[in-house]
Amino acid sequence: MSESAQSAPPVTFPPAFLWGAATSAYQIEGAVREDGRTPSIWDTFSHTPGRTADGETGDIAVDHYHRYREDVALMADLGLNAYRFSISWSRVQPTGRGPAVQRGLDFYRRLVDELLAHGIRPAITLYHWDLPQELEDAGGWPERDTAYRFAEYARIVGEALGDRVEQWITLNEPWCSAFLGYGSGVHAPGRTDAAASLRAAHHLNLAHGLGASALRSVMPARNAVAVSLNSSVVRTVSQDPADLAAGQKIDDLANGVFHGPMLHGTYPETLLAATSSVTDWSYVRDRDLETIHQPLDALGLNYYTPTLVSAAEEQVSGPRPDGHGASAHSPWPGADDVAFHQTPGERTEMGWTIDPTGLHELIMRYTREAPGLPLYVTENGAAYDDKPDPDGRVHDPERIAYLHGHLSAVRRAITDGADVRGYFLWSLMDNFEWAYGYGKRFGAVYVDYTTLERTPKSSAHWYGRAARTGELPPLEG
Ligand code: IFM
């Protein structure tokens, strides 16, 4: 550890700050055929040969469906005061439409009650990528009807849990659903159609707007409705106009395509122009933008690493080192004239460069874009190749350093005037990292995938201490 980190003044947080951890249903629950649940697009995708590392699936995952009490107790022992989890849509509405399955809702009710009994504030994400397969069979997110189905589902969950859960997130990282799911195809449903990915983006936006009003129509007014965006911090290799234009294009495709309509009620003109060879946007109907532009109570920011681009010397299609998995198809429609570069610096096991300044930049950007809107870091964390010592303990000083750096960046942003109310570490425990399977460990809690035994890593103890004291403990020596 550097001397400056040792001797730096303590980093302290406001007393009401939320210290949470985040997970998502398909990544942790398992029990995929229990209590009426039907396949989601991730069940289908992960069971399709060649789609995930070693053909791994979320069939068992970390068996949270059966071990949720143990997992809540773990969080409480560590001292966390908030937990963000997602609902499996096909557990609640197996065909993606029509009446709810009570057993599915009951599971989440039990989980919420367990959290509340331990003094942990639940934050629900309604959609973390696991569309019911029947809705994909009917066209998926490129189809407008999927947005209406989402609103119906949002209403059902809001009615069931709105009396006991105050924090609600409509969508998690719609960029991944649209562009990795329908563009590059590295995520479910694995389609590779640039025009469909932009249609999907619009219907995800519409789903957010319709879902937010459906939630508000059935929930107490005190509840907060938000969305979690994986907004990119886009940097360019130079200030050359061609590189700046490349940066603008990626910023529009990563950020403006969602925050434009959600926060400002409009798609950026530069986005419409840049994608005009891919789509004519004729599926954006009158009043859609008004519907999407719902007042939000908070904004969730998910941050891992910045994105570095330049103008491409020649047109590039296919695989690029943009950190979003290998595919012959680009997740960036209309951006074949942009080149992606590896940001210099130390990297995590995902190959993602560690740069806490990006988190500060992101928070300050949204402080300007959406003045007065409370912000939460709804995901931030790192994968490392963690292994237990012979004594069974798991030491992960790199993750502690990562958390220290990023939480310090959050604190700097608060000092600089940002209204950041909480931080959710990704992730509570090791889990199914989508197309990477179980090979990438993001957890603060280690999971032995043979026995499913949970062991808090040293980062979990470090983070728990931060949560209990409101102050970052020193780095491990
Ligand atoms: O595991 C994912 C999560 O589901 C969404 N955000 C990024 C995480 C790490 O890749």
Mean pLDDT computed over 228-247? 97
**Atom 1 of ligand 1, nearest CA residue:** 433
**322 band by pLDDT with thresholds 50, 70 and 90:** low
User: What number does the ligand 1 atom closest to the CA of 350 have?
Assistant: 10
- Please return the burial class of 317, using the count of CB atoms within 10 Å of its CB with bins 0-12, 13-18 and 19+: exposed
Mean of the pLDDT values across residues 126-154?
98
- Whole-number Å distance, alpha carbon 54 to ligand 1 midpoint, is 19
User: Relative to the CA of 128, which ligand 1 atom is closest?
Assistant: 4
Give the mean pLDDT of 387-407: 98
Strand partners, 234: 307
477 occurs within a structural domain? no
pLDDT tens per residue, range 238-254: 999 999 999 999 999 99
Instruction: Answer whether residue 476 is part of any domain.
Output: no
Of the residues 84, 433, 436, 438, which should be mutated to test ligand 1's pocket, given the most ligand atoms within 8 Å of the CB?
433
Per-residue confidence band for 328, with pLDDT thresholds at 50, 70 and 90? confident
Residue 474 lies in a domain: no
Q: Within a domain: residue 37? A: yes
- Which amino acids bring their CB within 6 angstroms of ligand 1? 24, 27, 173, 302, 379, 426, 433, 442
Check residue 2 and give its pLDDT: 47
Residue 1: pLDDT band (50, 70, 90) is very low
**Please, where are the H alpha helices in 95-137?**
102-117, 133-137
How many angstroms does the Cα of residue 383 sit away from the middle of ligand 1?
A: 10
**Which residues, other chains included, contact 234 with Cβ-Cβ below 8 Å and sequence gap of 6+?**
247, 250, 251, 254, 255, 306, 307, 309
* Distance from the alpha carbon of residue 28 to the mean position of ligand 1, in angstroms: 12
**In which region does residue 56 sit, left (phi positive, over 0), alpha (psi from -120 to 50) or beta (all else)?**
beta
Contacts of 273 (CB under 8 A, 6+ apart): none
Q: Which residue, judged by its Cα, is nearest atom 4 of ligand 1? A: 24
Q: How many structural domains compose the chain? A: 1
Residue 408 lies in a domain: yes
| Among the ranges given (224-238, 279-293, 322-336, 417-431), the one the predictor scored with the smallest mean pLDDT | 322-336
Residue 424: is its pLDDT beyond 60? yes
Which numbered atom of ligand 1 lies nearest the CA of 442? 9
Mean pLDDT, the chain, integer: 96
To the nearest 10 degrees (0 to 180), the angle between helices 458-469 and 64-78 is 60
- Cα–Cα separations (whole angstroms), residue 348 to 304, 305, 306, 355, 401: 10, 10, 13, 11, 11
Task: Kindly state whether residue 59 falls inside one of the protein's structural domains.
Answer: yes
| Distance between CA atoms of residues 119 and 222, nearest Å | 19
- Atom 9 of ligand 1, nearest CA residue: 433
Say if residue 128 is exposed, middle or buried (CB neighbours under 10 Å; 0-12, 13-18, 19+). Answer: buried
User: Exposed (0-12), middle (13-18) or buried (19+): which is 452, by Cβ within 10 Å?
Assistant: middle
CB 265 within 8 A of CB 293: yes
* Alpha carbon 382 to its chain's center: 13
Mean pLDDT over 40-58 rounds to 98
Closest C-alpha to ligand 1, atom 5:
173
Among the ranges given (88-92, 109-113, 320-324, 360-364), the one the predictor scored with the smallest mean pLDDT? 320-324
Average pLDDT of 37-48?
Answer: 98
Catalytic amino acids?
A: 173, 379
Tell me how far apart the alpha carbons of residues 446 and 357 are, in angstroms, rounded to a whole number.
28
What pLDDT is recorded for position 319? 47
CB 182 within 8 A of CB 242: no
The CATH number of the domain where 310 resides is what? 3.20.20.80
Instruction: Compute the distance from residue 433 Cα to the ligand 1 centre, in Å.
Output: 7
**Where do the H-state alpha helices sit in 219-317?**
241-251, 257-259, 269-274, 288-292
Cβ atoms within 10 Å of 348's Cβ, excluding its own: 20
In the three-class reduction of DSSP (H, G, I as helix; E, B as strand; rest coil), residue 91 is classed as helix
Cα angle vertex 204, ends 65, 431, to 5°? 30
The residue type of 201 is A
Residue 277 covered by a domain: yes
Domain, as residue range, for 72: 3-469
Which atom from ligand 1 is nearest to the alpha carbon of 24? 4
Residue 309 lies in a domain: yes
Q: What is the pLDDT of residue 327?
A: 83
Q: Is the pLDDT of residue 364 over 60?
A: yes
CA of 215 to the centre of ligand 1 (A): 25
Length of the chain: 477
Structure tokens at 41: 């697009």
Pair type for strands 234-236 and 167-172: unpaired
